[in-house]
Structure 1
């Protein structure tokens, strides 16, 4: 399962490289909903793209981003104050008597202070890093689709909720951020051949067992340990990762969401201990993929088979 990816977060690049229009109304709606209290996760690098846009809509989004960041900073500062007080209380207790409760309170407060200071630093930082373009299940990313004959970029949640399904599908099927190629005609039949998209990635991340990465069996008495690997194509290049997506509606609620299609891994990923891989399509197949024929699913599968085949280097993720 591709549980995380580093994406091209700047919608201007979709316009420059792929001739896409931005569906600014969908971005405005997304940021409006977050401003109104919806718990939406949007990468910092997606926010930053609006600094380069002089449109009235982009200016409004920038204002909402600033308001949201200020609210988040206030919450973090309040939490920081509480944890510093907790730490001081624990330290005063320990000066009089050593207790397990005070030691544990000191440990927890110290960890939470460090975490909160890190979050505040990230919030206030203006220079972007690669981590600012990471998405995880439930986070939003720009997705390239076709709408009314034009390539368009829309913000979508990385965890697909198929149209017509109840909202509890998110918890019932938490793995719906990926769509297995061998299940496209089954679970994903309402999307496959109908609503195809592309997400531009330059790396993806997988959970694997340490002993599998090290190509050995578990030692006697050894507990299985999970590590996170970053896989990136060599030489570095953007990957046009095939996706299916859905426009879910219920009353006044709407949700645009997608799942990345995965398949059996190439040898170098299998050797690193993982059993799935995203599918980057060839640029020549963009229009054919984004304009599928529901009556010819074999043609869509042929595009997935005629994929780009870079060599995937891997390293332990930070």
Structure 2
């Protein structure tokens, strides 16, 4: 499984073939729910496609009569959105998996390993943490809460640090970086930079046990929400050299039990686990 941070991903669900031919009433019900969700998603995407195609036609009409910077920009944006929407519609119909399907995007759900009633449990959680007791608009006020900075664990994340810990198992992570930083060049005054997405992977192919914190949010009349944040720290030299200033914190396997069963009276022991993290050597490449 791969994780991605700070990258915008598709919100169209895939129709998997796991329930294409249900063998029980429960599987038939699941298939109905999936079909209904995908039908609703398709309707939303078709509406977006119509809107962006109309925007594209209007921009092209303007450019034909009097080229303007605004029309050029509208054409570019509309073209990109038409392509993205068509791709998302194709995703709904697709049953074969692709490498990008395993990426985890902020706001999407991912499997998180936690300790619950003395048992190890893998629970799907949203990759953007809403701390219990906070209002729902917390998501918009603090959109970056899919990450938890190591230096803010005892402050912003105090309700969770030492109480609700989890682990996300990944083999790669992705970062947005400026091309100029990646290439180590200084741009000219008016030259615009370009954003690129890099995939970082341990050179030895090992999987990473990413330290996380999670919360169960409840409110009257609202569905329960399980959500989590991945802890980040200063980057190792090779990640910094590639142009990024943060990095996930992979813990060592010997600390799994201690991390998943934290004691708020001994935060120093938890900081020690994070300090004695795994230190793979990362290689990177442009994400597909």
Q: What's the CA shift for 1:140?
A: 1.1
1:296 to 256, 262, 266: 266
Q: CA RMSD in A?
A: 3.4
Task: Verify: 1:162 aligned to 2:93, yes or no.
Answer: no
| Structure 2: gaps (5+ residues) | none
1: CA distance, partners of 2:79 / 2:251: 47
Query: What are the superposed Cα offsets for residues 288-316 of structure 1, whole Å, 9 maximum, x if unpaired?
Result: 11111111111111211222211111112
Q: What's the CA shift for 1:59?
A: 4.8
Query: Match for residue 259 of structure 1?
Result: 229
Task: Verify: 1:243 aligned to 2:243, yes or no.
Answer: no
Q: What's the CA shift for 1:77?
A: 4.2
Task: Verify: 1:138 aligned to 2:107, yes or no.
Answer: yes
Task: Verify: 1:99 aligned to 2:65, yes or no.
Answer: yes
Query: Match for residue 268 of structure 1?
Result: 238
Q: What's the CA shift for 1:225?
A: 2.9
Cα 1:98–1:252 shift into 2, 3 Å: closer
2: CA distance, partners of 1:240 / 1:49: 29
Query: Match for residue 216 of structure 1?
Result: 185
Query: Match for residue 160 of structure 2?
Result: 191
Query: Match for residue 6 of structure 2?
Result: 3
CA contact (8 A) 1:145 1:196 kept: yes
Task: Verify: 1:148 aligned to 2:151, yes or no.
Answer: no
Cα 1:270–1:43 shift into 2, 3 Å: farther
CA contact (8 A) 1:199 1:240 kept: yes
SS, match of residue 36 in structure 2: helix
Query: What are the superposed Cα offsets for residues 203-233 of structure 1, whole Å, 9 maximum, x if unpaired?
Result: 2111222111112333343233322211112
Cα 1:269–1:113 shift into 2, 3 Å: closer
Query: What are the superposed Cα offsets for residues 129-153 of structure 1, whole Å, 9 maximum, x if unpaired?
Result: 1211222221111111111000111
Task: Verify: 1:181 aligned to 2:184, yes or no.
Answer: no
Task: Verify: 1:287 aligned to 2:287, yes or no.
Answer: no
Please report the TM-score for the alignment, with normalisation by the length of structure 1: 0.75
2: CA distance, partners of 1:230 / 1:256: 27
Cα 1:195–1:56 shift into 2, 3 Å: farther
Q: Work out the number of aligned pairs and report it.
A: 280
2:95 to 126, 131, 140: 126
Query: What are the superposed Cα offsets for residues 108-127 of structure 1, whole Å, 9 maximum, x if unpaired?
Result: 76655433332222221111
SS, match of residue 295 in structure 1: helix
Task: Verify: 1:63 aligned to 2:66, yes or no.
Answer: no
CA contact (8 A) 1:41 1:140 kept: no
Task: Verify: 1:233 aligned to 2:202, yes or no.
Answer: yes
Cα 1:112–1:179 shift into 2, 3 Å: closer
